[in-house]
Chain A
Amino acid sequence: MVNRMDILQRKKESGQKALVTFITAGDPTLEATYELVHAMAQSGADLIELGIPFSDPVAEGPVIQRANVRALKHNISIDMVFDLVARLRVNLEIPLVFLMYANSLFHYGAEAFFKKCRQYGVDGVILPDLPYEEQQEFLPYAEKEGIAIISLVSPLSGSRIGPIAAHAKGFLYCVSSLGVTGIRTGFDTDFESFMKEVGNSTHIPAYLGFGIATPEQARQLMDYCDGIIVGSALVKQIEESRTIDEAVESVAHLTRSLRRALDGE
């Protein structure tokens, strides 16, 4: 089955670095999310992650936690985000994935959920609290609709990297450092050996995420991986903006400067 994420594989093979951007759907409104997604796509993002708001985002640091709180003020539901995706898909071909917690998926019902992903144009899901061992419960429904469940590996994964990477779909989410999402000023991970182990185990694109906030960090890490994922830094731009227009402008600006860094400019 074709998936919009297939383009990421070609991008990797041509040696281009991918930029993945994250925002929380409905932060601060769904209308803003619509504008922000278009702005990021036009500013050089290759894949966009939309966070489904959850009451208890256990893998997130304070910045994205607050984004969840802002979105939940308007009771943003999964169906509302699906409708947003339908509107975006009118003229947007960039791959879109949801970042969501296992309970949101389980509560919705896996069969109906993945069917809707296919119908509305969502290409994959990242479930930060669903490790490899627990994927089986949902995988048959995802595969039936051609939707990828994105796997994660961390610097502690060690011998788990092999089997996880070997079965990964779409791209492999490589957690840059221990801890939750947030803006880091430095990393003490041994990227050389971590990403070598990853590279030995899979041919699909491997992207580094968690804590990456600036073009300088993107430059520093891009040689280890096929792309980088930036979330909290963008969400922070939204949080610090007084108007939606200002948020769109600053998110586009950061996206462009990350793009330029990855393009070696």
Chain B
Amino acid sequence: MNTGRFGEFGGQYIPETLMPVLKELEQEYQAALNDKSFIDELNTLFREYAGRPSLLYEAKNLTRQLGGARIFLKREDLNHTGSHKINNVLGQVLLARRMGKKRLIAETGAGQHGVATATVAALFGMDCEIFMGSEDTRRQALNVFRMELLGARVTPVDSGTCTLKDAINEAFRQWTFRAMDTFYVIGSVMGPHPYPTMVRDFQSVIGQEVKAQLMDLTGCLPHAVIACIGGGSNAMGIFHPFIPHQDVALIGVEAAGKGLNTSQHAAALARGQVGIFHGMKSYFVQDEEGQIAPVYSVSAGLDYPGVGPEHSYLYQSGRGQYVSVTDHEALEAFELLARTEGIIPAVESAHAVAYAAKIAPTLSRDKVLVVNLSGRGDKDVGFIAQMKGRAVHG
């Protein structure tokens, strides 16, 4: 009980067949980190393929409208494929290639991680199969087609709640069939060790850039960094370099869906209990029998019953501050950002914007809030139009 723990959280709760594969992955990952050519190649891909560094943009209109703290947006939405997911995928696929794997599998909820994986598979000429809950293939039909255009096979998953959690179940199952030639590209800071650490490391480029960019722009550290939490990868990525800076508040925003007092939310820290699932010990929304409970959020990317183990640790130790935002508040923030700054955020990211909008007016003007704008809203526009009763195609 010592590998890959964050306090009591994390671990490797996974069938025996996968254990040798995880051990190999752990070793290869450590070796890659110490290999300058691996790091150089990753940095080159970040720069030349993903378009890094992403901008740190001061949202002056939004700041003026809200009155109070200065708001900066970390523009992960401008990355190739439209979200922070590409950072992690580039890292993992480089590692897969180094390990001689020919085939990639991944789960996806909203489709962003699936699209990023299909994209990098195309770039490296690797076989790619994406597991996606059948409910999500309907909600995100455009992303299904996008993945297929990129040459990936999209396999709808028809078990359980037919959403992200079930897609992950099926990806693990299929991985045990072909553990030798297949690399499972997990999309968030979750799963068995070494994934939570590895994904966090690949995403930490976000926080490192923010630190340097903000120093240049303001000469100081932020009052708080704010990010939405699905599994927690964009949040861990922006939090991690700031953990030692005790004065910087790390604020994670969970999806409160229709309200924390309903059963329709996806707030694992606010409403979950410690449990063991998907390879890790962490917080999960579950019933009184320990069955994993169905969760809900308007945003498919936050519609997950758990959270990565390092967040559970930051929560328990008090270093992280975890709050939640309802569908309604997130959708308001979605429109607010579009109108004030001309930036349409992903509904996931809109949760973080909503919380910043809540606290900015309570803070003085010399304080800086950095919001991780984890993705762009193109994928959500059709759905939001539909909610507003407008029929659009595409």
Candidate in A62, A134, A155 with the most chain B CB atoms within 10 angstroms: A134
Q: Given the complex of chains A and B, what is the CA–CA distance between A153 and B277 in angstroms?
A: 21
Q: Given the complex of chains A and B, what is the CA–CA distance between A107 and B287 in angstroms?
A: 10
Measured between C-beta atoms, what is the minimum distance from B244 to chain A in Å? 30
Tell whether A131 pairs with B20 under 8 Å between CB atoms, given A56-B277, A58-B169: no
* Interface residue ranges of A119-164 to B (CB < 8 Å): 128-134, 136-137, 152-158, 160, 164
Q: B17 to A156, Cβ gap below 8 A?
A: yes
Tell whether A134 pairs with B17 under 8 Å between CB atoms, given A56-B292, A78-B289, A156-B180: no
Measured between C-beta atoms, what is the minimum distance from A104 to chain B in Å? 5
Number of interface residues of B (CB under 8 A): 39
Chain A residues with Cβ below 8 Å from B14 are: 129, 131
* Interface residue ranges of B146-186 to A (CB < 8 Å): 159-160, 165-166, 169, 172-173, 176-180
Measured between C-beta atoms, what is the minimum distance from B4 to chain A in Å? 10
Q: Given the complex of chains A and B, what is the CA–CA distance between A258 and B24 in angstroms?
A: 38
A185 at the interface (CB under 8 A from B): no
Tell whether A104 pairs with B172 under 8 Å between CB atoms, given A133-B3, A134-B1, A137-B1: no
* Interface residue ranges of B47-61 to A (CB < 8 Å): none
Q: A156 to B15, Cβ gap below 8 A?
A: no
B12 at the interface (CB under 8 A from A): yes
A103 at the interface (CB under 8 A from B): yes
Tell whether A152 pairs with B15 under 8 Å between CB atoms, given A102-B276, A134-B1: yes
Measured between C-beta atoms, what is the minimum distance from B154 to chain A in Å? 19
Chain B residues with Cβ below 8 Å from A101 are: 276
Tell whether A107 pairs with B16 under 8 Å between CB atoms, given A58-B172, A178-B178: no
Q: A154 to B17, Cβ gap below 8 A?
A: yes
Chain A residues with Cβ below 8 Å from B293 are: 55
How many residue pairs link A and B with beta carbons under 8 A? The number is 110
Q: B20 to A158, Cβ gap below 8 A?
A: yes
Q: Given the complex of chains A and B, what is the CA–CA distance between A62 and B293 in angstroms?
A: 20
Q: B173 to A180, Cβ gap below 8 A?
A: yes
Per-residue 0/1 for A156-177: is the Cβ within 8 Å of any B Cβ (1 yes, 0 no)?
1110100010000000000100
Q: B179 to A156, Cβ gap below 8 A?
A: yes
Q: A61 to B11, Cβ gap below 8 A?
A: no
- Name the CB-closest residue of B to A137: B1
Tell whether A56 pairs with B15 under 8 Å between CB atoms, given A103-B286, A136-B1, A156-B180: no
Q: B178 to A133, Cβ gap below 8 A?
A: no
A220 at the interface (CB under 8 A from B): no
Q: Given the complex of chains A and B, what is the CA–CA distance between A128 and B18 in angstroms?
A: 11
A108 at the interface (CB under 8 A from B): yes
A54 at the interface (CB under 8 A from B): yes
A250 at the interface (CB under 8 A from B): no
Q: A175 to B289, Cβ gap below 8 A?
A: no
B218 at the interface (CB under 8 A from A): no
A97 at the interface (CB under 8 A from B): no
Contact of A55 among B3, B11, B278, B291 (CB under 8 A): B291
* Interface residue ranges of A97-122 to B (CB < 8 Å): 101-104, 106-108
- Name the CB-closest residue of B to A75: B289
Q: A131 to B292, Cβ gap below 8 A?
A: no
Candidate in A54, A65, A106, A133 with the most chain B CB atoms within 10 angstroms: A133
* Interface residue ranges of B268-319 to A (CB < 8 Å): 273-279, 281, 284, 286, 289-293
Q: A180 to B177, Cβ gap below 8 A?
A: yes
Judged by DSSP, the binding face of B is mixed
Measured between C-beta atoms, what is the minimum distance from B307 to chain A in Å? 15
Q: Given the complex of chains A and B, what is the CA–CA distance between A164 and B19 in angstroms?
A: 12
Chain A residues with Cβ below 8 Å from B292 are: 55-56, 103
Number of interface residues of A (CB under 8 A): 41
B6 at the interface (CB under 8 A from A): no
Q: A129 to B176, Cβ gap below 8 A?
A: no
- Name the CB-closest residue of B to A179: B177
Q: Given the complex of chains A and B, what is the CA–CA distance between A179 and B179 in angstroms?
A: 8
Chain A residues with Cβ below 8 Å from B278 are: 58
Q: A131 to B176, Cβ gap below 8 A?
A: no
B383 at the interface (CB under 8 A from A): no
Chain B residues with Cβ below 8 Å from A156 are: 17, 20-21, 179-180
Chain A residues with Cβ below 8 Å from B17 are: 154-157, 175, 178-179
A45 at the interface (CB under 8 A from B): no
Q: A132 to B16, Cβ gap below 8 A?
A: yes
Tell whether A103 pairs with B276 under 8 Å between CB atoms, given A131-B12, A132-B16: yes
Per-residue 0/1 for A26-60: is the Cβ within 8 Å of any B Cβ (1 yes, 0 no)?
00000000000000000000000000001110110
Chain B residues with Cβ below 8 Å from A179 are: 17, 173, 176-177
A77 at the interface (CB under 8 A from B): yes
A72 at the interface (CB under 8 A from B): yes
Chain B residues with Cβ below 8 Å from A75 are: 289
Q: Given the complex of chains A and B, what is the CA–CA distance between A137 and B3 in angstroms?
A: 13
Per-residue 0/1 for B243-281: is the Cβ within 8 Å of any A Cβ (1 yes, 0 no)?
000000000000000000000000000000111111101
Q: What 6 additional pairs, Cβ within 8 angstroms, besides A56-B277, A157-B19?
A: A56-B165, A58-B278, A78-B289, A103-B276, A164-B16, A175-B17
A-B contact pairs, 13 of them (CB 8 A): A55-B292, A56-B160, A56-B166, A59-B176, A72-B291, A103-B275, A106-B276, A107-B286, A107-B289, A133-B12, A134-B1, A136-B1, A154-B15
Binding site for A on B (CB under 8 A): 1, 3, 11-17, 19-21, 159-160, 165-166, 169, 172-173, 176-180, 273-279, 281, 284, 286, 289-293
Listed from nearest, the 9 A-B pairs whose CB atoms lie closest are A107-B290, A179-B177, A154-B17, A55-B291, A102-B276, A152-B16, A103-B276, A55-B292, A180-B173
